[in-house]
Amino acid sequence: MKIIVPVKRVVDYNVKVRVKSDGSGIETAGVKMSMNPFDEIAVEEAVRLKEKGVATEIIAVSLGVPQCAETIRTALAMGADRGILVESDADLQPLAVAKLLKAIVDKEQPQLVILGKQAIDDDMSATGQMLAALLGWSQGTFASKLAVDGNTLTVTREVDGGLETVALTLPSIVTTDLRLNEPRYASLPNIMKARKKPIATMKPADLGVDVTPRLTVLKVTEPPKRKAGQKVGSVAELVSKLKTEAKVI
Amino acid sequence: MTSLVLLEFDASGIKQPSRSAVAAATALGEVHALVAGAGLADAAAAAAKLPGVAKVLVADNPALDHLLAEPTAALLVALAPNYSHLLAATTAVGKNVMPRVAALLDVQPISDIAGVVDADTFIRPIYAGNGLATVKSSDGKKVITVRAASFDPVAADGGNAPIEAVTVGDLPGLSKFVSAELSKSERPELTAARVVISGGRGMQNGENFKLIEPIADKLGAAVGASRAAVDAGFVPNEFQVGQTGKIVAPELYIAVGISGAIQHLAGMKDSKVIVAINKDEEAPIFQVADYGLVADLFQAVPELKAELEKA
């Protein structure tokens, strides 16, 4: 089967992000960008399915500024076969992203789309579910394990109280949780090989999708800072302060 | 303007995060509540008692058991024409179902709101809570998940709403529930606990989490963990507090052997009182802690247990 893996370019997870002083957003100029960590897990899972002989082809898709091509290259170096870049300077929100991905799915006809469960920038956790809805497909979100058997995809999901296993009729959408796998590092030879793999470039208009944002960001502020606390010298002092000062025990 | 809130429930009643979602919805106008699943008499009765709920809709159908995304979303979409806002708590169920609803309605969902400004405008955390975005939706209908830690839940008792059965049309049969492995615990749920005690990488192994259990029992606390502790396999993922785990805001949060990575702080920094026990004086957790104890946890935790037992 063919698998599509959407990959998002986000501020690297190690970067301490800062709110812009004019309150218009988060400072991204000159900041290190990387593939969204959950998307790395998605790419890894697709590559493992290919190594097991379940998948035949993996297409990495990214949407956004031209530099998203680098994110696709990372996926190609990990083992994806080819890339599709949908170039846009717009603020692409999950609804628009889901519509663009649907248009690509309609063309490419994969049986499975694996996405990260959330992007660590907007923390929306929505795109996979929305794509499943637009396609009328089943969805296995927050997956910690998946197995393909004929036309059925069995997904173990991380839910609030533990794990839940569902059986889905393919084609399906899967979104990845942390424990699904540990993504590999691309080897140098594979990074070199990835340079030769093809990336097709298109625009939202080519896919007939209106990407106008539905949410307007009015302002972004810093969260209230906690007041500086105090160091206590002993457990006895801690317990006493929790009782008499904080009054929480 | 009327909102519909999808409720989650268990044998003990309507879950606390859902009661927080009701609280958020009351800021928007009249509130109706939806319980869906199979065998709902108790859940419907519990929903009817929630203060602020004007009507309870009951969708009793075996296909809705376990609130799988595909049928539950279809149900909400069928009910949507009567409502201006559709809400659920930001839980595994809410996160799974609501974006699907939104896409079917051609709406951009507003995930994990921490504040209501007006009927169109909401505050939500971004970048692991390092920014608070005020967003205004231009969609005719709003589909929202609610950060439970940011809204005081409505009480479990006090209301007396009428209960109305809804007819459930055809539901998609794309998915099937197979099994659930839920951790059995006598302790409160992480997101509902008044006190949370969490262990980090400093715990060194899963066995050592037993050290904090008697303290949790003594304080009636839930046990949590940092992502590092989960990644290292000390405890299962459902213990995880943080950007990608559970968001908690208890009255007292005790962080044991947790360094305080940004993504962990994102899950607990709204706690009322934070205690940190860590042997590394420079650990970032001390920057958010109200009370910091620089100590080896293997000494401090047994001492803490003894000290609490004295009282």
Residue B149, Ramachandran bin (φ over 0: left; ψ between -120 and 50: alpha; else beta): alpha
Residue B260, Ramachandran bin (φ over 0: left; ψ between -120 and 50: alpha; else beta): left
Q: Which residues of A touch B69 (CB under 8 A)?
A: 129, 132, 139, 141
DSSP-derived 3-state class of residue B285: helix
Q: What is the dihedral of CA A34, A40, A44, A50, to 10 degrees?
A: -80
The CA distance from A100 to B224, in Å, is: 39
A32 touches A12 (CB < 8 A): yes
Tokens at residue A235, please? Answer: 């457990």
Reduced to 3 DSSP states, what percent helix, strand and coil does chain B have, rounded to the nearest 5?
A: 35, 30, 35
Which residues fall within 8 angstroms of residue B269, CB to CB, at 6 or more apart?
A223, A226, B129, B288
Per-residue pLDDT of chain B (311 residues; tens, 9 = 90+): 999 999 999 999 999 999 999 999 999 999 999 999 999 999 999 999 999 999 999 999 999 999 999 999 999 999 999 999 999 999 999 999 999 999 999 999 999 999 999 999 999 999 999 999 999 999 999 999 999 999 999 999 999 999 999 998 899 999 999 999 988 888 999 998 999 999 999 999 999 999 999 999 999 999 999 999 999 999 999 999 999 899 999 999 999 999 999 999 999 999 999 999 999 999 999 999 999 999 999 999 999 999 999 86
Distance between B24 CA and the closest CA of chain A, angstroms: 18
DSSP-derived 3-state class of residue B291: strand
Interface test with B, best of A141, A159, A212 (most B CBs within 10 A): A159
What does R_g of chain A's alpha carbons equal in angstroms? 21
Strand B195-199 to strand B252-256: parallel, antiparallel, or no bridges (unpaired)? parallel
The CA distance from A40 to A46, in Å, is: 10
Q: Which residues of A touch B96 (CB under 8 A)?
A: 129, 139, 141-142
Q: Three-state SS across B11-26?
A: CCEECHHHHHHHHHHH
Question: Which pLDDT tens digit goes with each residue over A75-115?
Answer: 999 999 999 999 999 999 999 999 999 999 999 999 999 99
CB-CB under 8 Å, B236 with A234:
no
Whether ipTM exceeds 0.90: yes
CB-CB under 8 Å, B189 with A141:
no
Residue in A161, A179, A217 nearest the CB of B135: A217
Q: How many CB atoms within 10 Å of residue B50? A: 28
